[in-house]
Amino acid sequence: MVGHLIGAAGSLAALVGVLAIRDGRIPPTINLENPDPDCDLDYVPRRARRAVVRLALANAFGFGGQNCVVAVRAPAGR
């Protein structure tokens, strides 16, 4: 929803994951108009959804083949 931020894209994805855990809201999947009925995934179309979020995973892929994955989880007891 913000375009490609080149080197900052992975940082933003990690931040969105942290905020989803903190605020209990799953951000929406943009531009999802016609989901494939054979692909039974839990999409979040058009609007954010409230949920208990305990774990977030952010994938970042850079030019030249750099790949990074960051997993963030809520503190124990939350």
The structure's pTM equals 0.82
The total of structural domains in the chain comes to 1
The pLDDT tens digits of the residues spanning 18-68 come to 999 999 999 998 888 888 999 989 899 889 999 999 999 998 887 778 888
Domain-embedded: residue 51: yes
Q: With bands split at pLDDT 50, 70 and 90, how would you rate the model's confidence at 69?
A: very high
How confident is the model at residue 5, as a pLDDT? 82
What's the rounded Cα separation, in Å, for the pair 4 and 62?
11
Contact by Cβ (8 Å): 73, 55: yes
Q: How many CB atoms lie within 10 A of CB 53?
A: 20
In contact, 53 and 20? CB cutoff 8 Å: yes
- Identify the domain containing residue 61 by its residue range: 6-30+43-73
**35 inside domain:** no
pLDDT at position 7: 76
CATH code where residue 20 lies = 3.40.47.10
pLDDT of residue 55: 96
Q: Is 61 inside a domain boundary?
A: yes
Q: Note whether residue 78 is domain-resident.
A: no
